[in-house]
Amino acid sequence: MEQLPAHRPLTVVQLPDGSHVYADPAALPAAQPAGPQVVHIHQAPPDRTVQRVALGSGVGAGAVAAGVYFGPLLVGVLTAIAANLAMLAFIALVLGWAVVTVVRSVTEGSKGTGKRGRKSR
């Protein structure tokens, strides 16, 4: 019986819910902080905010990698599309102006030529 550890007396411990139990304080789990953990994402640099939100919500490394890779890629693609549409709009404007100019010059030239009809004698 000399090999047994020394007996520790049990003490009264108050649990986080307010109830009291007889327990060994060393055997209880560590106390957890009350309330939600506050993460200040507004203090992060702008390029890291999406990553911190993704990591903080437990999404994982895949979402972070997608945000890092596809974010700038999406901006580049949208810029290229906008530039293409602007160029097409300019070309359509120039072609429309050219067609209107040609049609006006052709119709003005044909008004005075050839008098036909009843009144021409």
What φ, ψ does residue 65 adopt, rounded to 5°? Answer: -65, -40
- Between 82 and 117, the higher pLDDT residue: 82
> What's the chain's average pLDDT?
75
Q: Report yes or no on whether pTM surpasses 0.85.
A: no
CB count within 10 Å of CB 41 equals 12
**48 vs 53: CA distance, rounded Å:** 9
Phi-psi region at 18: left, alpha or beta (left = phi > 0; alpha = psi -120 to 50): left
The pLDDT score that the predictor gives to residue 38 is 67
Mean pLDDT of the region 58-70: 73
Kind plus residue range of the DSSP H or E element containing 13: strand 11-14
The pLDDT score that the predictor gives to residue 102 is 93
| Residue 110 binned pLDDT confidence (cut-offs 50, 70, 90) | low
Rounded percentage of the chain residues whose pLDDT exceeds 70? 51
**67 vs 51: CA distance, rounded Å:** 7
The pLDDT score that the predictor gives to residue 113 is 53
Mean pLDDT of the region 62-74: 80
**69 vs 86: CA distance, rounded Å:** 27
The tens digit of pLDDT for each residue in 4-62 reads 667 666 677 777 787 877 776 666 666 666 777 666 666 655 566 666 665 555 566 67
